[in-house]
Structure 1
Amino acid sequence: MDDDTRADAALTRRLADGDRTALADAFDRFAPTLTRYAWAQAERRQDVEELVQDTFLTLWQKATTIDLATSALLPWLLVVCRNHARNQARRLAKGAGDELPEDLPARADADEARERLRWVRDEIAALAPVDRRICELCLLEGHSYAEAAEILGLSVGAVTQRVSRSRARLKKAVMHDEH
């Protein structure tokens, strides 16, 4: 278990114990990544902010029941964010005829943010085909490691190891992009 995984496990325990500073620590640690991910899911700044806020609210509300497969918190947060984005998209689709012209600058912001996230798509596309498919199954489609292993005919351990390698590669790309 690496240092980040240990830190995530400790943070999750603190959250489950009701430690409010743990929520602030989680926000400080994961909000920038979640915000970039939310921009890939939503078009307007207020929708992105709502997704990030709802994700951290869910983290706080479900802290006592979170069961992390690898003790890494970020994949769980990304799945929660994606689920909130799907719900948000359904809500917005109901009022699709209500879009106002002042939304156009927000769309330009969203397009710019999506372009800035191109490097993430490029990093995922550069993964080996099996690793890329595991990322799609687990991070984008919300399958568990066990489900991904069954779909791909791999062991859960192999999926876990490949996710760990992919996560390290993506983390390196994120750190390079942020500094």
Structure 2
Amino acid sequence: MQDPTAMSTSEAALWSAARQADERAFAGVFDLHRDRVFRHAMRLADTRADAEDVVAMAFTDLWRRRDDVRVVDGSVLPWLLVTTTNHARNAGRGRRRYRTMLLGLPHTDEDDAAVVAVGRIEARERREALRAAIAKLTPTDASLLLLTVVEGMSAVDAAAAVGVTHDAARTRLTRARRKLRVLLEAAGVRMDTEAGQ
């Protein structure tokens, strides 16, 4: 297993070169983080194709905004995870608008595509309720919650990734968990106690 310090040093060197528009170095940063970012996107997206699109947008932003990226403990991964969350939320809002429009169109049982779309929506009710509840959180609160609960980051690292103090992050996380529990219960979804801790 690779020493985390060595990996951090290796990433720091790659990122330093990538910031100077070194495409090979950027490819190295991509190779370091693509799997983790993809797993994160898969948790937030409806389909594998949606997750792939979100990952592509996150890495495109990393390249375009490389001079503005916040590095946490020598890694761009926290920035990538926050950016992935934001892109997934935006894509989710677009999908919901599209679904609403589809459901509002007149159709018959012969409209196979509409029947399949409605069936998929019903099959994903619980997952959608969770996504909808997370979407009602502020972007900062949603990012803190996803980074700590889903990605397993410490509150200190998550706070640094989103640009708030550790104390503010702890307060925001408590409030976000409480709000998420209320929203899910209102939608008829029981939140696991582990996710709520």
Corresponding residue to 1:138 among 125, 139, 158: 158
Pick from 14, 35, 57 the counterpart of residue 38 of structure 2.
Answer: 35
SS in 2 for 1:65: coil
| Partner residue, 2:68 | 65
Please point out which of 68, 92, 96 is paired with 1:89: 92
Greater fraction of residues in helix: 1
Q: Please give the TM-score of this superposition, normalised by the length of structure 2.
A: 0.55
Counterparts of 1:66 and 1:78, CA distance in 2? 12
Aligned: 1:148 with 2:166 = yes
User: Aligned partner of 2:15: which letter?
Assistant: T
Q: Which 5+ residue runs of structure 2 have no aligned equivalent? A: 104-112, 128-145, 172-197
Residue 23 of structure 1 pairs with residue 26 of structure 2: yes
The residue identity in structure 1 corresponding to 2:74 is S
What is the CA distance between 1:11 and its match in structure 2? 2.0
- Write the distance in 2 (CA, Å) between the matches of 1:68 and 1:57: 17
Q: SS at the partner of 2:67?
A: helix
CA 1:124–1:151: 2 relative to 1, 3 Å: closer
Shift of 1:150: 3.7
- Secondary structure of 1:2's counterpart equals helix
CA RMSD in angstroms comes to: 3.4
Tell me the equivalent position of 2:49.
46
Q: Which structure: larger Rg? A: 2
Using the size of structure 1 for normalisation, the TM-score is 0.59
Q: Runs of 5+ in structure 1 lacking a partner?
A: 112-120, 154-179
Offset at residue 76 of structure 1 (A): 1.2
CA contact (8 A) 2:82 2:162 kept: no
The amino acid that maps onto 2:86 is: N
Give the 3 Å change call, closer, same or farther, for CA 54–6 of structure 1 in structure 2: same
Say whether the 8 Å CA contact 2:37–2:84 is kept in structure 1.
Answer: yes
